[in-house]
Amino acid sequence: MGKKHLLMATAAGAMALGMASAHAADVEPVVEPAGWYVSLFGGASWLDDVNTHYTFDGITGTYQADVETDVGFIVGGAIGTHLTDDLRVEFEVAYSENDVDKIQYTNASNFEDTYDGNGKFGILTFMANIWYDVPLSEELKPYVGGGAGIAVVDGDVGYDDFDDYDPIFDNSEVAFAFQVGAGLRWQVWENVTLDVGYRLRGIDGPTFDAKETDPNFDASDYDTQWMWSHNVIAGVSFGL
């Protein structure tokens, strides 16, 4: 390459580099600085029937005690940050409680009957969540997402009609938990956002220690299938 061509190439490269630098200076960063927030929420919780099964030593077959609960409540809070304008991550702590209403008993011969029950399920969850805010407008943003973590399930269940079986189990167990949900966020002030939403929560069935009810029989632990709840919440978030 001649000296003239080398100078022309060098000048063209310098010009292109200068134009690229000027263009880059005009481009806004893709990720804004992290925006932290805290949120509080509460609402109603519907716990699906809790299906448990157990056995007796020396007796062939499986018994069931399917527990029906009343509508309960859920309260909680979270601290989170915006990774982008539309993507949030947060750590959430929530507590829900549902009173026991009925117990459907099924014995090893498939005899079924329904009895009044007493007690409650108290569930404390710790979740890491991720939410995507659909940029509908500056003030209104629908969102979808979910999270995973652990649940501490306090099961206190007994029969009203049989003093010897009150309770059949009463202890706390830790299990894997997750949730998926959707909702709508409405920014009412610069740092205040209202939130209404729905959460479907699943808990990998814990195993509860059986209470000794009859000295002639030794009941096994109560193995629980997946526990599912439907939660409708309303809350408020405060930007930091």
pLDDT at position 61, please?
A: 80
* pLDDT in single tens digits along all 240 residues of the chain: 443 333 333 333 443 334 334 443 443 433 344 589 999 999 999 999 999 998 876 677 888 999 999 999 999 999 999 999 899 999 999 999 999 999 999 988 889 999 999 999 999 999 999 999 998 888 899 999 999 999 999 999 999 988 777 888 999 999 999 999 999 999 999 899 999 999 999 999 999 988 765 555 566 789 999 999 999 999 999 996
Q: Tell me the C-alpha distance between 124 and 233, whole Å.
A: 16
Backbone angles phi, psi at 191, to 5 degrees: -120, 20
Measured CA to CA, the distance from residue 31 to residue 63 in angstroms comes to 56
Token pair for 143: 């969102």
Q: In the block, which residue shows the tokens 């940029």? A: 135
Q: Do 24 and 30 form a contact (C-beta atoms < 8 A)? A: no
Residue with tokens 């509508």: 71
What is the distance of C-alpha 229 from the center of its chain? 10
Tokens of 21: 């630098």
Q: In degrees rounded to 5, what are phi and psi of residue 59?
A: -120, 130
pLDDT computed for residue 24 by the predictor: 37
DSSP label at residue 49: P
Beta 227-239 vs 35-47: how paired, if at all? antiparallel
3-state secondary structure 82-133: ECCCCEEEEEEEEEEEEEEEEEEEECCCCCEEEEEEEEEEEEEEEEEEEEEE
Domains along the sequence of the chain with CATH: 35-239 (2.40.160.20)
User: CA 47 to CA 123: how far, in whole Å?
Assistant: 11
In this prediction the pTM is 0.82
* Burial class of residue 15 (count of CB atoms within 10 Å of its CB; 0-12, 13-18, 19+): exposed
Which pLDDT belongs to residue 17?
35
Residues 6+ apart with CB under 8 A from 74: 41, 42, 43, 44, 45, 94, 95, 96, 231, 233
Q: What is the model's pLDDT at position 179?
A: 98
